[in-house]
Structure 1
Amino acid sequence: MLNEFYSRLFNSSQAHDLDRILDEVDEVVTDEMRVDLVLPYTSEEVDAALKEMAPLKAPGPDETESVFTADHLITDNILIAFETLHHMKTNCTRKKGFMALKMDTNKAFDSTRDIAVMRNPVFSSIQWLYTHFCWEVSISLLVLTILSCILQRLTNKGPMLWPVMGILPSVFLHINNIYDWTTRSLIKAGGTFHFRGMWMEGFYGIMTAVPSNIEYMLKTKFKNFPKGKHYKERFYDLLGNGIFNADDQLWKEQRRIAISEMHSSRFVEYSVQTMQDLVHQRLLKLLEKLVESRDSFDLQEVLLRFTFDNICTAALGIDPGCLALDLPEIPFAKAFEEATEFTLLRFLVPSFVWKVMRLLEVGYEKRLKKAIKIVNDFSEKIVTDRKNELVKFGSLNDHSDLLSRLIEDSDQGMKNHFSDKFLSDFCINFILAG
């Protein structure tokens, strides 16, 4: 075992591609010196060399200490190497750096096979940066993170705002109970806390459940709190210029139109009747069937299906059938849910990331595009069919939903003329409001 160990220790590693490495080493042996070196040596030269070897130095002009001289041990070299490397390590922040070379030796310490110094500028620069800054930067970032977290815990009563990432890590850690976590955070913070998104995103916000704050933002000083570009560009693909994605005059106009129609006695009676029919003819029968089956079911899902059927019937005049006894999967309802969920993910991802994903159609953006297309096709078909019905029968008196009222009023010139795009965005926004 010992023989094998030392055989490997003093053997060459058989380095490859030496020509490329040696091309970077300055040539110091001239042709004349090379001729002298390959000449046969004589017994007189050997005798002279041995007599020149003093106890404290090796032959030749370099005066390098030999490990085979009297009164000197190999451990002396080990100590010197250790002290040298320690000095280099503790002085790695200076402008002038140092480099340690591992020499590939063959059979003995006085027979060197390969010595190479990589002088490629790119390689040297990367190696220097790695040697001098990698460890220090890692330690600095770790210390900064720890200190920032401690400061946050001491000064911020809301959720943890992490360095660089902002609130995102906290959101992802509680993604499965996001509503409970948000409620606990609001209670702990006294009803209001501020947050920020990822560094360089410019995303800052305030979460509040204090009634006076909500009244101030939505009524007293509503004009001071527009949705802004950050919000609208993320929702535009799904909501377009609908009421939930509009600001200023456009929002006011849509709100005026919606209120005027929703407060009419015709729509109030229609919506009440729709609600009663859904409860008695669909919801109660479905719950009775589920109870009799003695199987577990998700009550929240049932209520969401009820809400979806209700808003589609009242606002658009269609029945998706989500409350059918067999709880079918409705493609439009599923697509709308996915489109809403994936759109909200844009608030958790930096804009330069999700915009590139949208351009390349990768990740969740690919699924979002597909879901939005299903939703848009559905809403556009509703608008087209209702307008065709108006043309065919001359009126929509048998329809009391909001969409039919808007189309008929627009056709009669009672309100501004509404484009198909406006009406389609109207449908999607009111489904979201459901």
Structure 2
Amino acid sequence: MKIALISTGEEILAGDIVDTNSAWLAEQLHEHGLKLAWHVTVGDDMASLLDAFSLAAERSDFCIVNGGLGPTTDDLSAEAAATWLGEGMRELPEWRDKLEQYYAKLNRVMPASNIKQAMIPESAQMIDNPVGTACGFAIQHDNCQLMFTPGVPHEFKRMIHDQVIPTLLQHAQQQAPSLHRWLTIGLSESLLADLLDDLPLPSGCTLGYRSSQPTIEVKLSVPSDVSEEQLSTVKQGINQRLGGYVFVDAKLSLAAHIQQLMLARGVKLATAESCTGGMIADWLVHEAGSSAYFERGYVTYSNEAKQQDLAVPETVLAQYGAVSAEVAAAMACGASVNANTDFALATSGIAGPSGDTPNKPVGTVAFALKTPTGVYQQLLKLPNRGRTMIRKQAAAIALDMLRRYLTGVDVLADYSGVSEMKQEFIAN
């Protein structure tokens, strides 16, 4: 089944806004074993829209048209659809009532221009929009069904989830293949390929990789005719080959996985960050419910802050320098004591572009994990892919240390492209 997407809007073509809807839609379709055959973006003009509709009808079984359903004169999608079909427009009384009730609740008179949002082509079928003022609609041309949706992201996503995807799945000629995921950290795409490419797969199964540094996703697409026994064998083989580099075998973030592990244990965490500047804490609190285990986070950028807030001894700073495994360990211990937590993570490093020394180049980062049994500390040399990527990779490695401890995997790992300058465990 071929699915197309037409994105409309001069603001997209001009670069005024980023078309996030298309990327999100492609991802959602892929989740359900579907995919876009092609995607085109056109401006808000009649000729471009008519050309795009004709192209969609020639190439696709289904086409999602996104945008152009607003009340202003440059919102042309409904009018263009009627023109393309050679028919007029009709008003939806129920949608006009909804609009009038909406404005009445606001104690406002509905602008006359909003009536346009209750108008659809004569032969169209309405697609409900429960969270906005623009109704969607579907039309049929030859063997292609076109479904029109508003461009407002939260309205678009709701309609795709509730109505468009169910329609696509209902019309799929065969059961969509299932998709299985493994999220990894610490291995490059080439190393993952070396580990998995010779794995025997049942007919029709395919392996794919998606890099979203610092993590990489491994995806296994499985046709509906593959037996459960065959699938189990393949999944077992992938798990064995990837080992501790897999942090979750589902679509779940590293922070969300850590949250699950921490809540299951009923333990608390604090963070002490220098080069990552609060990034670890930000990732953790992005997950709803993190307050149940994440106690507090310190950002101690200067030596004075490390001493004052975390009680890092001045002698340790003077002897080893701020970017050292010893200072990171002292930061983690100080955070754990201050916050009264079971665990604490600490980072201190040189994210660049300056601040490096001959012995500690840009990308040198110290890590420490304070646990109930002792402190894991390491000094690593990360690849210099720019300041932002160094900070992201450092935050990911710190969280991975905690993840490894909680899952019983070696905490001090060998990461692809990363040099170990020092790694040790100091027991209590």
Same structural fold, with TM-score higher than 0.5 when normalized by the shorter chain: no
Greater strand share, 1 or 2?
2
Q: Flag the structure with larger Rg.
A: 1
TM-score by length of 1: 0.22
TM-score of the two chains, using structure 2 as the length reference: 0.22
